[in-house]
Amino acid sequence: MASSEPRRLSLEIARFPLKTPFVIARGAKTEAVTLVATITQGEATGRGECTPYARYGESVDSVVAAIESIRGAVEAGADRAALQRLLPAGAARNALDCALWDLDAKISGVPAFQLAGLHAIAPCVTAFTLSVGTPDEMAQAAKAAAGRPVLKVKLAGAGDAERLAAVRAAAPDSELIVDANEAWRPENLDQNFAACAAAGVVLVEQPLPADQDSALALKKWPVAVCADESVHDRKGLAALRDRYDLVNIKLDKTGGLTEALALAAEAEKLGFGLFVGCMVASSLAMSPALLLAARARFVDLDGPLLLARDRPHGLRYDGSILFPPEPALWG
């Protein structure tokens, strides 16, 4: 939205301790470290939160440097369209893009969901994530979360069949989706998919490393397969049609809500189902992704549920039901 008033950009590192360690196939962490971009114009302020991710070659310092490299353009009034040309997809662009959506909503007085062409944002059901552990540890975690309708089970390769059986026994009524985080290999696909089918799993997310996922095209698997690390934005999406049934859209991968909306539209056009995911971060990072939730078969926006504390005006969760953000938070 046009405004003649000057802009000011500020950056802040935010740290959120986790309730328990978050463990996936490639490591563990005890806190979420995010970067918040705040753009102020007159009386209006927009914020966006990103999570730098080492898997994609990012660090807090590298993301700060990327944002600082275009500070002049942002403060001179670069809009969301210009931002897509100024930075590549990734965490840095995500923070700025979401801050600009929020700023435009605040300046115009029109909610971000309406700016995106939506009539409303409805509450949705989010998956709840279980970290990798021993079968006994995961069974205990699953038992504690057994009342939740959808559980996302992190896997790690060796021992996954035992983990799945333990989780299923502890949470017999929950819909299970699993995330291997690239830990499987082509030679064990058959046995791992068989274990998923036996446990009643409905979705397998990123079973193979992104550079080895061509093996997924060899046959039709008994459980739907979703791309995560293999897809960031629209580039290369068409080449994945013979490998995946769904794509996981994360704003830190797409570089913000602008590309996420475009990716969703292109994915739907190509016949993919949609999965909306997140990094472990605060409610500020989840809020823009909620604009995609109504289109998704699965929503995994449970980041704040894993934190020991969220930021002020955080999203409201009633069990696994996630409600839209208040304007004081975002949008």
Active-site amino acid positions: 154, 250
Residues 323/317, Cβ–Cβ less than 8 Å: yes
Q: How far apart are CA 166 and CA 232, in angstroms?
A: 33
Q: Give the residue among 171, 157, 93 at the shortest CA–CA distance from 129.
A: 171
Q: Are strands 150-154 and 175-179 parallel, antiparallel or unpaired?
A: parallel
Distance CA 281, CA 263 (A): 22
Query: Contact, 124 vs 149, CB < 8 A?
Result: no
Torsional class of 313: left (φ above 0), alpha (ψ -120 to 50), beta (otherwise): left
Residues ≥6 apart with Cβ < 8 Å to 271: 241
| Phi, psi of 6, deg, nearest 5 | -70, 155
DSSP string spanning 161-186?
Answer: HHHHHHHHHH-TTSEEEEE-TT---G
Residue 312 to residues 289, 325, 326, 328, Cα–Cα distance (Å)? 19, 12, 11, 9
- DSSP 8-state symbol, 291: G
